[in-house]
């Protein structure tokens, strides 16, 4: 049963921040937490010159220290640890298969400079259908809406909203289900954003009628209303607002993340010869959002 939260840990500040966020999320969900450290033997570049036994001891130490810290913060949280021997992406994707959520850390550059999204995190996001949350060091605030912890800053506390990007051109039930469930369990508002663009043919029209833009905006707004309506009925206690605009969805989502507890975006399932394609909005948010980012596969 997919009921636990899994987090990747490697002893870095980013992974410690991710583990704290994941522990708070597990407490909110009332589920166990699983700590995973993948031992990439014998090619682990972090541990040059160490034998297998030393590598195993190193992994045990990382997991033990992380578990002890989190037990201190959450004495009643059930925490288990695993140390599979595999490439990190493969190990994390495999561990995510039976989890309800996978949490990964990513180093932040500060302000709007954004994330340093490592190759492991980026590859893992596209290697699993399980929801993945990326948390950067700067996000070690009050955790996911519990109002506890040592941090402070924008998006901290139970009153901060969740922001979700709505794509009316994709099947976004999984994205909206995740966003509404998170807002419901945290008791916080949910804001839905959708960006649209004029059809490319309009760039060739010499005399543009502003009424056309207004008509399209109204039509798109009605479509977003229709997409949200069943979820409003399913989660009547969630305070939902939405904003439809002409322009880049990624840019607006990044801006909204400044005051958010969590940003939820969908990712494309299309693949190209260069690998999986996130989509422009998800890519922008993943690299520049000020809040933790949940990436959900469309479908």
pLDDT tens for 255-272 read 999 889 999 999 876 554
**Over the stretch 189-226, which tens digit does the pLDDT of each residue have?**
999 999 887 666 555 555 556 667 788 889 889 999 99
End-to-end, the C-alpha distance of the chain in Å comes to 20
15-24, 58-67, 162-171, 193-202, range with the lowest pLDDT: 193-202
Q: Please compute the mean of the pLDDT values over residues 144-163 and round it to a whole number.
A: 54
146 and 159 Cβ atoms separated by less than 8 Å? no
* Position 48 confidence tier, pLDDT thresholds 50, 70, 90: low
* Position 281 confidence tier, pLDDT thresholds 50, 70, 90: confident
Q: For domain 1-140, give its CATH number from 3.40.50.720, 3.40.190.10, 2.40.50.140, 3.40.50.620.
A: 3.40.50.620
Task: Report domain extents, the chain.
Answer: 1-140, 155-299
Higher-scoring residue by pLDDT: 142, 251: 251
Chain position carrying tokens 């561990």: 95
> 262 — phi, psi (to 5°)?
-160, 140
Could you count the other beta carbons within 10 Å of the beta carbon of residue 116? 14
Q: How far apart are CA 58 and CA 77, in angstroms?
A: 24
- Confidence check: pLDDT of 142 > 80: no
pTM for the predicted model, two decimal places: 0.84
Chain position carrying tokens 């597990």: 26
Q: How far apart are CA 234 and CA 281, in angstroms?
A: 27
What is the topology classification, in CATH, of domain 155-299? Answer: Rossmann fold (3.40.50)
For the chain, what is the mean pLDDT?
Answer: 81
For residue 109, what pLDDT is reported? 45
| Equal fold, 1-140 vs 155-299 | yes
Query: Is the backbone of residue 63 left (phi > 0), alpha (psi -120 to 50) or beta?
Result: alpha
* Position 94 confidence tier, pLDDT thresholds 50, 70, 90: very high
């Amino acid at each position: 049963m997919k009921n636990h939260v899994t987090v990747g840990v490697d002893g870095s500040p980013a992974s410690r921040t991710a583990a704290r966020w994941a522990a708070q999320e597990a407490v909110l969900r009332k589920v166990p937490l699983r700590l995973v450290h993948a031992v990439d033997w014998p090619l682990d570049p972090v541990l040059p010159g160490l034998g297998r036994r030393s590598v195993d001891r190193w992994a045990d130490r990382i997991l033990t220290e992380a578990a002890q810290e989190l037990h201190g913060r959450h004495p009643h949280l059930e925490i288990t640890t695993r140390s599979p021997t595999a490439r990190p992406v493969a190990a994390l994707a495999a561990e995510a298969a039976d989890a309800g959520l996978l949490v990964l850390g990513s180093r932040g550059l500060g302000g709007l400079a954004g994330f340093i999204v490592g190759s492991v995190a980026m590859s893992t996001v596209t290697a699993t259908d399980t929801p993945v949350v990326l948390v950067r060091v700067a996000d070690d605030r009050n955790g996911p809406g519990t109002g506890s912890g040592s941090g402070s800053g924008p998006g901290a506390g139970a009153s901060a909203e969740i922001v979700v990007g709505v794509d009316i051109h994709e099947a976004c039930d999984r994205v909206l289900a995740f966003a509404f469930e998170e807002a419901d369990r945290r008791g916080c508002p949910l804001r839905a954003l959708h960006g649209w663009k004029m059809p490319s043919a309009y760039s060739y029209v010499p005399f543009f009628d502003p009424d056309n833009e207004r008509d399209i905006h109204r039509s798109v707004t009605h479509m977003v209303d229709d997409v949200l309506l069943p979820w409003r009925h399913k989660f009547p206690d969630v305070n939902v607002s939405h904003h439809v605009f002409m322009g880049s969805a990624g840019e607006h989502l990044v801006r909204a993340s400044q005051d958010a507890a969590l940003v939820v975006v969908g990712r494309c399932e299309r693949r190209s010869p260069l690998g999986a394609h996130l989509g422009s909005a998800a890519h922008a948010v993943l690299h520049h959002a000020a809040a933790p980012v949940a990436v959900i596969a469309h479908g």
